[in-house]
Amino acid sequence: MRRLILPGALGLAAFCLFIALGVWQLHRLKWKQGIIAEIRTAQAAPPVPLPAHPSPFQKVFVSGEWVPGKAALYGQIVHDGPRGPITGGELIMPLRREDGQILLVDLGWVPESAPRPLANPPPRPVGYIHAAIGRGFFSPADDPAHQLYYTLDPEAIGHGLGLANVAPYMLIAMGPAPPPGSDLPQPAQDLPTPPNNHYEYALTWFGFAGVLVFEFIFLARKRLLTHARL
């Protein structure tokens, strides 16, 4: 029996850890379900004015005036077209709010290789807020001379457009999809919904705990049989 004390103690510690991780994932599951429920409620509700501290899971609208003649493209994104893949990017235009702050608005994907400001952008864009994203290790270098950007950095994009007092986040516009074959921007259709895999994660940790129990039973039976033969 003494030969089972150490593996039993280690197994018990690991068992408790696996159970704790599984319970933690169940708590995360409940928390994530609450967020998703809020997103679905916001999706069905009318947009609200952009608050001072916006959440990425709110549908908001913004008032102001578009800065004329300014536009940029973000990313190099390939979409499927009727004649094959089409390369384009996210069209970004600056909106000057009533307090003077510049808010960059991602109006959606366009099949263009160079930014071209819209002649008639929406007077009061609706969408959700997206925080800045830092440059990745493999991100291509931005090309401010041609207003092409590969890092979602509102400050850098605003600086390239010759603008100051730029908000540290961006509005991702939402709206109906344009007609097929149109060169108008394709805005987002829904609020972003985070993945919810916590139930599967909880089952995985509880599964590890169950396997550990069977492994210990197998080990204990093997050692007890060996000891009995001796």
pLDDT tens-digit readout, 18-51? 999 999 999 999 999 988 888 888 888 899 999 8
Summarised one tens digit per residue, pLDDT across range 138-156 is 778 888 998 999 889 999 9
The answer to whether 45 and 59 have CB atoms below 8 angstroms apart is: yes
- Per-residue pLDDT for 229 more than 70? no
By CB atoms closer than 10 A (0-12, 13-18, 19+), residue 114 is: exposed
- Per-residue model confidence (pLDDT) at position 218: 80
Higher pLDDT, 86 or 69: 69
- Per-residue pLDDT for 105 more than 60? yes
Q: How far apart are CA 219 and CA 173, in angstroms?
A: 60
Cα-only R_g, the chain: 27
